[in-house]
Structure 1
């Protein structure tokens, strides 16, 4: 699924650009570090609720998380 791959890449890129650890981002959105790791490595798909929380914490729109990173 292409959108899940895009989400994982964008999540990692945006998190790193903001110099946040997985643990720091997880704390901001109410998720455990391992959940963030599972999202970034495509082991799990995010719920819409978590996707919205992550987008807000990173200061982007949900669209920015699922668009093609190229």
Structure 2
């Protein structure tokens, strides 16, 4: 699994969110979140930002986690 996908899933599960809840918070579809987590789609920066907001965290924390993998 790619670093982005792994980090998204990790942050989502640590936040106690389902894919459905994250999708709702980020203004995306559940299918889209699933595609991101399964490495079948890469997000735009705008989507990354919305996902981080939905996760309740800062984009810098998310990117730092990706870089540490």
One fold, TM greater than 0.5? yes
TM-score (norm 2): 0.83
Q: Which runs of 5+ in 2 are unaligned?
A: none
* Structure 1: 4+ residue segments shifted above 6 A: none
TM-score by length of 1: 0.82
Larger relative contact order, structure 1 or 2 (CA cutoff 8 Å, min sep 6): 1
Q: CA RMSD in A?
A: 1.8
The count of residues paired between Structure 1 and Structure 2 equals: 67
SS of structure 2 residue aligned to 1:56: helix
Structure 1 unaligned segments of length 5 or more: list them.
Answer: none
